Amino acid sequence: MWPCLRSLLTRLESSTEVFAPLQSAIGALSTLVDAYEPDYQGQREYNEVRANIERILKDISAHMHTPTGKVMTKSVKLICLDIESEVAIMKDKQDPDTERRLLKATQGLDGVIDCCRRVHSHLERLTLNLNLSILGILEDINEQMLETKITKISPSMSATYNSAEANPVTA
């Protein structure tokens, strides 16, 4: 299994239920990688896609460290479902016969690279969504801080004119 994938999966498994959809999607991706890695390990295209996916997984893992990273929106859940459906398609295509699977791997007939590219694009959408969620949270925090500052400003007392105590104006 890829190091970034293992690291993120371990972090997700130790986290709360908030990340259940993401944990499920990354776990499914892990299963797919374990199944196809031996057959595709030396191929240039596969290695490029793997590097791209690992870079995004590292970003997601870093996102999980932030306090605002504990956001699971509906769109994040949908993206996780998209990843799981890609993995399910590949599981259905997986040939139990090792020789035929190796032949397909060398000929590129089973679409693993295409699946990895689609998973990569889903992961990019996921990181974009997570980043937008963070921006929304930061905007809310900024607005709350501004409101707090405004309420702490001392109100100025009304300036009433008391004619009995006023200095006479001389012309």
User: What is 76-128 written as a DSSP string?
Assistant: HHHHHHHHHHHHHHHHHH--S-HHHHHHHHHHTTT-HHHHHHHHHHHHHHHHH
Tokens of 140: 């809310």
pLDDT value of residue 152: 81
Can you tell me whether residue 72 is helix, strand or coil? coil
pTM of the full structure: 0.65
Mind listing the pLDDT tens digit of every residue in the chain (171 residues)? 778 788 888 877 777 655 778 888 888 888 888 888 887 778 888 888 889 889 888 888 877 766 555 566 788 888 888 988 988 888 777 766 666 666 665 665 557 788 888 999 999 998 888 888 778 778 888 899 998 888 887 665 555 555 555 566 665
pLDDT value of residue 47: 85
* Rounded Cα–Cα distance for residues 140 and 166 (Å): 48
pLDDT value of residue 18: 58
pLDDT value of residue 59: 83
Tokens of 129: 């969504």
pLDDT value of residue 121: 92
Question: How many other CB atoms are there within 10 angstroms of residue 50's CB atom?
Answer: 20
pLDDT value of residue 106: 61
